[in-house]
Structure 1
Amino acid sequence: MSGVGGVDVEAELVAWLKGQRDERIVTDLPPNLFDVAPVVQISRVGGDDDGIRLDRAFVDVDVYDTTRPLASQLMAQVRTLILTSLRGTVTDVAVFTSARTITAPAWRPYENPSVRRFGTTFEIFCHPVS
């Protein structure tokens, strides 16, 4: 989903996280989620912009794993990475200027009882490179 200036925050975050982590990072969940867990899902859920360059994206990050402790641990690692390393990141398309937690990590329901889901929502500011 493109924001201001054509920056697709979901795609840029997926690409950035893939460079930082070994888990499967996606926007759409695979149908065989249990077989390929752990999985990190990135979904823009709102936000706003200044109509010119600055995009303030609300982004859900959900992690899926086979046990609660594994899902919780992975969420903590991904959250720390986003909050401490994303700020100042420049990709070919976007500059990430800040990230903060809007809703703290929490268990979220999921229809398959063999998969555990843990999620949080971030506010992420970015703008196009040029």
Structure 2
Amino acid sequence: MASVGSIDVEVLLIGWLQGQLGDGIVVRDELDNNLLAELPTVQVERVGGTDDTFRLDRALVDIDVYAATRGAAADLAAVIRGLLLQLPGSTVGGAVIGRVRTESAPVKRPYENTGLRRVGGTFSLYLHPVS
């Protein structure tokens, strides 16, 4: 979903998180049928937000972690939360991140596949284009 100033917060976060977390972790927007073979996987999905109709976007983003155990999912979700909370004042992927707020801290979320565990949180990111 494109947002104010044509910044796609999903694309921005997927690229940034992949760089922060490294090659052993898959970061994507949509899950596929091969999920069990790609653990741990992080899913980034914009679920709403608002804007000022000019430049400032307040993106509401869900970030879910899928892992083999609840502990592994919770640990990775905590790392991601910590990384996100360090973003204010940074320039990432053509956007200035002004503020990051935890709307819902990472918690266990249901998932129909009993072969894995899901932990997720919801975050607000206030951002605008660099130029």
Range of TM-score over shorter length: over 0.9
Query: Which residue number in structure 2 is paired with residue 93 of structure 1?
Result: 94
Q: Deviations over 1:10-42 (max 9, x none)?
A: 100111111111211100113211111000110
Query: Which residue number in structure 2 is paired with residue 116 of structure 1?
Result: 117
Structure 2-normalised TM-score? 0.95
Q: Tell me, what secondary structure is at the counterpart of 1:61?
A: strand
% identical equivalent positions: 49
Q: Tell me, what secondary structure is at the counterpart of 2:92?
A: coil
Q: Tell me, what secondary structure is at the counterpart of 1:87?
A: coil
Q: How many equivalent residue pairs?
A: 129
Aligned-partner Cα distance in 2 for 1:27–1:92: 17
Change over 3 Å in CA distance of 1:92–1:119 after alignment to 2: closer
Q: Deviations over 1:82-113 (max 9, x none)?
A: 112x2122134211111010011111111101
Query: Which residue number in structure 1 is paired with residue 28 of structure 2?
Result: 26
Structure 1-normalised TM-score? 0.95
Q: Tell me, what secondary structure is at the counterpart of 2:91?
A: coil
Aligned amino acid, residue 100 of structure 1: R
Unaligned ranges ≥5, structure 2: none
Aligned amino acid, residue 32 of structure 1: N
Instruction: Verify the 8 A CA contact 2:12 2:93 in the aligned structure 1.
Output: no
Q: Tell me, what secondary structure is at the counterpart of 2:113?
A: coil
Unaligned ranges ≥5, structure 1: none
Identify the range of structure 1 (44-53 vs 18-27) with the bigger mean alpha-carbon deviation.
Answer: 18-27
Aligned amino acid, residue 2 of structure 1: A
Aligned-partner Cα distance in 2 for 1:72–1:79: 10
